[in-house]
Amino acid sequence: ATKRQWKSKKARERFLRLRRMKQREEAGRRRRAQQKGSTGGLRAIQIEAIREDGTTELRTISDQRLVEEGCMQENAARYDQTRAPFSTPPMEEPLYSTFTGNRAESAVNQLVEGSFPIP
């Protein structure tokens, strides 16, 4: 086997880049031929479960229905911050009715201008 001579560093890098690209394409063709595509997403999650003595433990759930329910509960707890049990101040009275009622536009303008009277 003879050692390949390169005209420049750029030519060598281009050759290596093209070889990697061909290898990736070939691997993709092989996976498709063997019907081994992507795995399809989340298969298991860990949730905190409370024991009878009050301590918590991590449990791994792999049932699809339970994984979906666990993800929905986590998303609701993480992103739905305006509802009970820990509602944020703008969603409580009197601010809620002030910013959602008929006077909402004037209240928002006052807030932006910095002249809104904080109750």
Output the pTM of the full model: 0.38
User: Rounded distance, CA 65 to CA 71, Å?
Assistant: 10
CA dihedral 85, 86, 92, 95 (to 10 degrees): -160
pLDDT above 90 (res 17): yes
Q: What is the pLDDT of residues 54-101, one digit of tens each?
A: 888 888 888 888 888 888 888 877 776 666 666 666 667 777 788 887
Tokens read off for 82: 């305006």
